[in-house]
Amino acid sequence: MTIQPSDSIRPVRFEDGALRLLDQRRLPSEETEQVFTDAPAVADAIREMVVRGAPAIGITAAFGMVLACRNARGQTDWRARIEADAGHLRDARPTAVNLFWALERMQRVIAGCATPEAAESACQEAAQAMLEADIAGNRQMGALGAELIEPGQGVLTHCNTGSLATGGYGTALGVIRAGWDAGRVRAVYADETRPWLQGSRLTAWELVRDGIPVQLLCEGAAASLMREGRVGWVIVGADRIAANGDTANKIGTYGLALLARAHGVRFMVAAPVATIDFATADGSGIPIEQRPEREVLELAGQMVAAPGARAYNPAFDVTPAELIDAIVTERGVVRTPDRTRLAALVGR
């Protein structure tokens, strides 16, 4: 697949029987790959944010199942061993529905195999196909989303939804890439995204690396940016979309949606169809991961809060569907999303 000038990053690779992940905790100061040869270590990598972003987590888990099959070769209880490894992966992070979707897909592949060797081969083929389909789908999603942006618009994004969060190209950042390449986007703004600073460390790194100018802002500056008329669209990704269109994404997304509505700015969610969880009726049923307090109390490992202070640190929040103007997927665009329109998108 051709890599375009604004699409040069591939964070997940499987080579020579090992999974290689670009360690996103060390960006932007250091580009380091971590190498994994067993599924529990892959689960730890997901949990510890070596890899992050719902699509990338799903793809990583799929390759983790390849390693589970490889390490079960020669064992009489190979199916039980693989299932135990699947459990480690399943418990890594609770909110990203792509993780569970990918594991279920791999387990269906394994169920049809008579030996661990056959399961390894079949899973590797399926995982690689998942990776390639994600990149192709992201490009299609980017093109569809870019068509909604009137030429000359400024856009604001939150967290990181680019190549680092996917197999490549990105979801919301894929829309921005496509809009920039098409001359529709004139300015890109990115929230720094506390407490992990995915906006300043990752989104800014991606855009600068690919030659797309970006201006960072503290989350608290978003209202002023909108009031000054600099933004036509807020474009974000999703870790899970409920059946009615309520969307879980990085903490702070809900506040941006409220600000966008107050200022007449449109709000777009870009995510693959696999992110839609039709088993979850609405946002109240989406589990929200609570992460360690130290992530808020510290910065780069240094304590910045007053001793004795406590922290509230949900990793995600839920944006109600009524605040979303469009959900963009690789299969099409759903405007003013609701249960009926989302179901029609996938033929349910």
Question: How far is 180 from 185, CA to CA, in rounded Å?
Answer: 5
Q: Amino acid letter at 140?
A: Q
In degrees, to the nearest 5, what angle opens at C-alpha 253 toward C-alphas 246 and 64?
80
In degrees, to the nearest 5, what angle opens at C-alpha 107 toward C-alphas 102 and 111?
155
The Cβ-side half-sphere exposure at 17, using a 13 Å CA radius, reads 6
Is 239 marked active-site?
yes
Token couple for 202: 């990752």
Q: Which residue out of 7, 85, 210, 239 is catalytically annotated?
A: 239
Q: Which active-site residues does the annotation give?
A: 239
